[in-house]
Structure 1
Amino acid sequence: MLVNATHINLLHVCYRELWLHYHGIRMEQTSATVAEGKLIGETSYPDRSQKYTELALDGVKIDFYDPKEQVVHEVKKSDKVEEAHIAQVKYYLHTLKNNGIDNPSAIIEYPKLRQRQIVEWEDGDARKVETWKEKVIEICSQEKCPPLLHSRICRSCSYFDFCYAEE
């Protein structure tokens, strides 16, 4: 199984959504929240595509990478699942390090909040990323979908109707 950054992000949000996504059950195209996040990513920094490079390595696609400064720029709608955002960019940094980039870092930008967070590679991160990858494989290899999370975040999830159809 090829683990990607979306899987790592979803691992930190909801095991059920991770499993469904991996098994090809996708609801993002019907979600106003996902559409808004996409719009924010596309319109917040209109000159970015001229300034930075899109980079694809080992199944990872980084939309905005500054090769001179070795910085990944990741745009997010809100900081509600900040841990998942950090894990996603740590996965990007792991991939960059595995491809010979010595000191990569990342900036997670929240344009609606006018905030940014710098994410640096730290000792122990390689082991964390490998553990996350193992957990993704374990969850996605299960025959049955994981149970409902019943969390506040469920209300804004693109899978909400799918998950709560019988309730």
Structure 2
Amino acid sequence: MVKYYHTCHRELWFYANQLDVDRTNTGIVHGSRIDDTTYTDGRRRVFVDGAIALDILEDGTIVEVKRSSSLEEPGEWQLKYYLWYLKHEKDLEVAGEMAYPRERKRESIELTAPDEAYLEDIIPLIRGIIQRSTPPEPERKPICESCAYHDFCWV
């Protein structure tokens, strides 16, 4: 949900309130294909407390796989939340890495003290958004045209 907080608050509300998306959406299909076909050697998906789903755990590093770096910031915050969660809820400090297989790019991500403070500030804001009885009003953004929730907002 941290990723959606950084992408679109309305998308966050839809996701958290279990409004399913258009599974034929090009972005969903491509993302699923990348998820199914990359890093298959020794890849281990790890679920923690039903709260986080780690794409890959390899050699003490969490690797978050994304289709593209075009929405780099939301993905990085998602990974930083995973690092924060493991540190504060499980007393585990692990390394983080973003992976963009189509771009053949990987980069290390660190959780800093300011990042931790920021996450602790936005968690109540996220809860506030998802507990609303109705979604936030739509805001036109460049990502809207490729969003799986497009029809919920603009049709």
TM-score by length of 1: 0.85
Q: In 1, Cα distance between the equivalents of 2:18 and 2:83?
A: 26
Q: In 2, Cα distance between the equivalents of 1:35 and 1:17?
A: 18
Q: In 1, Cα distance between the equivalents of 2:99 and 2:42?
A: 13
Q: In 2, Cα distance between the equivalents of 1:113 and 1:54?
A: 22
Residue range with higher mean Cα deviation, 8-17 or 116-125:
116-125
Q: In 2, Cα distance between the equivalents of 1:21 and 1:56?
A: 18
Q: In 2, Cα distance between the equivalents of 1:48 and 1:28?
A: 31
**1:1-150 equivalence runs, <5 A:** 7-49=1-43, 53-58=44-49, 59-66=51-58, 68=59, 70-98=60-88, 99-102=90-93, 104-150=94-140
TM-score by length of 2: 0.91
Q: In 2, Cα distance between the equivalents of 1:139 and 1:11?
A: 9
Partner of 1:16: helix, strand, or coil? helix
Whether the 8 Å contact between 1:57 and 1:95 is mirrored in structure 2 is no
Whether the 8 Å contact between 2:45 and 2:55 is mirrored in structure 1 is yes
Partner of 1:112: helix, strand, or coil? helix
User: Following TM superposition, by how much is the alpha carbon of 1:92 offset from its aligned partner in structure 2, in angstroms?
Assistant: 0.7
> What amino acid sits opposite 2:47 in the alignment?
A
1:110-163 Cα offsets, whole Å, 9 max, x none, are 111111121012122222222221111111122221111201100110011221
Partner of 2:67: helix, strand, or coil? coil
For structure 2, the 5+ residue unaligned runs are none
Q: In 2, Cα distance between the equivalents of 1:23 and 1:121?
A: 28
Partner of 1:41: helix, strand, or coil? helix
Whether the 8 Å contact between 2:26 and 2:146 is mirrored in structure 1 is no
Number of matched pairs: 153
Partner of 1:134: helix, strand, or coil? helix
Alignment RMSD: 1.5
User: Following TM superposition, by how much is the alpha carbon of 1:28 offset from its aligned partner in structure 2, in angstroms?
Assistant: 4.3
Whether the 8 Å contact between 2:86 and 2:92 is mirrored in structure 1 is yes
For structure 1, the 5+ residue unaligned runs are 1-6
